[in-house]
Amino acid sequence: MPTHLIVLAAGEGARMLSDGPKVLHEIAGAPILAHVLASAKALDGERVLVVGRSGDAVSKEALKIDERIRIVEQSEQRGTAHAVTMAAPELEGRGGDTLVLLGDTPFIRPETLTALSKARADGADIAFLGFEASDPGRYGRIVAEGASLLRIVEWKDADDAVRATTLCNAGLVLAETGTLLRLANAAGRDNASGEHYLTDIADLGRAEDLDVRVLTCTEEEALGINTCADLARAEAVFQARARQAALAGGVTLRSPDTVYFAFDTHVQRDVVVEPNVVFGPGVVIESGARIRAFSHLEGCHIGRSAVVGPHARLRPGTNLGEDAHIGNFVEVKKAEIGNGVQVKHLSYVGDASIGRDTNVGAGTITCNYDGVSKHRTEIGDKAFIGSNTMLVAPVTVGDEAMTASGSVITRDVPGGDLAIARGRQKNMAGFAPKLLARLRAIKGASKSD
């Protein structure tokens, strides 16, 4: 039987003090919502996202993450049980189980969802997720006897004895689809907030002699994002996990706490990452590569044994071949860099392809933008681009061709040719001291005025 998914993302997130939806704030370069959906990626049923009144941006991002997802709106904020009932038209008659996830809880592990499913298979009618909190604060409390869940009490409705407990509600619940929808629809609003709480289905289920259980996870896994401080904490949690995973996978991090990974960074073993490296989304690094200090990579593929940096920037669309070297203060964008290519100093390579074993001298620029459109530069194999060459695209430099230092190349250079495109040098004998004297005189006169 399938397991369906409801993600609750209708909250306004007022405590973020932001004009944007809370679930679109980013952790490791990806929206909180992307992390939530990733945790439930293996579920095989329908996927429903409940958004609020300003849900257009959330819906658009959700469909980019998972085009299968269905969007429903909770136009009135009347509580979590009410939000679940908004998903009912998409799930009624579908059978199977349904899992409810909160759109602001990004670190639920797939293994935890598997444990909830196992509890259902073992006889639980409703399975909630809880956690022991070091500082329970205003979390709802779970009252339980062993694995048997007696009730869930929201903080506003709890007495001092319940508030003193530390087993808290993580906001997740798994139940048979019909049972979940029926009990959510029956949830009342006789509470301090006047809302329909999804947690009430525990009491409602027990009143029907249903088996209601609680499973627990770590506090870190249950972390919810309500403030910018929570977001910063979540970023730290993600980075700590990502660094540990990289180290465990055979990646050398010279200074782990200074390396920042993205949501989808993929680094193979035997890669060395030096201090103060930042990975944006979409980076793949093959075995044996070295990413040197203070480099920033995004949307790029780094081939085996390639070297990047220090102080390099690789932008989306960059593909480095094996043994390619991108050096200090070099920026590369939307470029195919062949095996063994050397671009080591102070250059910009954008909208280009460079063939194998080509050397690009310091200060080279592919002039790719004419103010309206982008144009490509094509450089062949074993070419030599002299320092301070301006390649005015569209332009092609053939195999084993050369450009002289300081050239402005505006026409194609056939293979094997040497291109020289610079003004003729003129030396004026003995003029330098005279010129300096004249300039100093002018400067002195301006000061006296």
Q: Is residue 441 part of a domain?
A: no
CATH no. for residue 297? 2.160.10.10
Find the mean pLDDT for residues 30-42: 94
Is the per-residue pLDDT at 75 higher than 90? Answer: no
**Residue at which a domain ends, from 188, 217, 246:** 217
Check: CB of residue 126 under 8 Å from CB of residue 205: yes
Q: Per-residue confidence at 189, pLDDT binned at 50, 70, 90?
A: confident
Q: Is residue 427 part of a domain?
A: no
Residues 127 and 149 in one domain: yes
Rounded Cα distance, 331 and 318, in Å: 10
Write out the residue range of the structural domain in which residue 355 sits.
Answer: 228-419
Q: What is the pLDDT of residue 220?
A: 93
Q: Is residue 429 part of a domain?
A: no
**Residue at which a domain ends, from 217, 238, 270:** 217
Q: Is residue 141 part of a domain?
A: yes
Q: Tokens 């997720």 sit at which residue?
A: 129
Residues 263 and 144 in one domain: no
> Would you call 366 helix, strand, or coil by DSSP?
strand
Residues 412 and 277 in one domain: yes
Residues 101 and 149 in one domain: yes
Residues 331 and 210 in one domain: no
> Would you call 272 helix, strand, or coil by DSSP?
strand
Q: Is residue 428 part of a domain?
A: no
Q: Is residue 445 part of a domain?
A: no
Q: What is the pLDDT of residue 13?
A: 73
Tell me the percentage of the chain whose pLDDT exceeds 70: 100
Residues 212 and 238 in one domain: no
Q: Range with the lowest mean pLDDT among 95-99, 136-140, 342-346?
A: 136-140
Q: Is residue 434 part of a domain?
A: no
Provide the annotated active-site residues.
Answer: 345
Find the mean pLDDT for residues 40-48: 93
Q: Which two tokens stand for residue 158?
A: 């709890």
Is the per-residue pLDDT at 423 higher than 90? Answer: no
Q: What is the pLDDT of residue 445?
A: 80
Is the per-residue pLDDT at 261 higher than 80? Answer: yes
Find the mean pLDDT for residues 62-77: 91
Q: What is the pLDDT of residue 446?
A: 76
Residues 163 and 247 in one domain: no
Nearest to 382 by CA among 403, 358, 404: 358
Q: Range with the lowest mean pLDDT among 149-163, 288-302, 320-334, 360-374?
A: 149-163
**Residue at which a domain ends, from 182, 197, 217:** 217
Find the mean pLDDT for residues 351-360: 98
Phi-psi region of 107 (alpha: psi -120 to 50; beta: other; left: phi over 0): alpha
Find the mean pLDDT for residues 115-143: 93
Residues 320 and 405 in one domain: yes
Residue ranges of E strands in 209-312: 212-217, 252-253, 266-267, 272-273, 278-279, 284-285, 290-291, 296-297, 300-302, 307-308
Find the mean pLDDT for residues 102-106: 94
Name 340's Cβ contacts closer than 8 Å, sequence gap at least 6: 321, 322, 323, 324, 356, 357
Check: CB of residue 319 under 8 Å from CB of residue 343: no
Find the mean pLDDT for residues 204-210: 94
Going by their DSSP bridges, the two strands 342-345 and 359-360 should be labelled as parallel
Q: Is residue 426 part of a domain?
A: no
Q: What is the pLDDT of residue 110?
A: 94
Q: What is the pLDDT of residue 424?
A: 87
How many domains does the chain fold into? 2
Find the mean pLDDT for residues 403-413: 97
Nearest to 393 by CA among 437, 359, 349: 349
Residues 8 and 136 in one domain: yes
Residues 138 and 246 in one domain: no
Q: What is the pLDDT of residue 116?
A: 96
pTM of the prediction?
Answer: 0.89
CATH no. for residue 213? 3.90.550.10
Is the per-residue pLDDT at 182 higher than 90? Answer: yes
Find the mean pLDDT for residues 32-38: 96
Residues 209 and 250 in one domain: no
User: pLDDT digit string (tens) for 226-245?
Assistant: 899 999 999 999 999 999 99
Q: Per-residue confidence at 449, pLDDT binned at 50, 70, 90?
A: low
Residues 177 and 29 in one domain: yes
Q: What is the pLDDT of residue 188?
A: 87
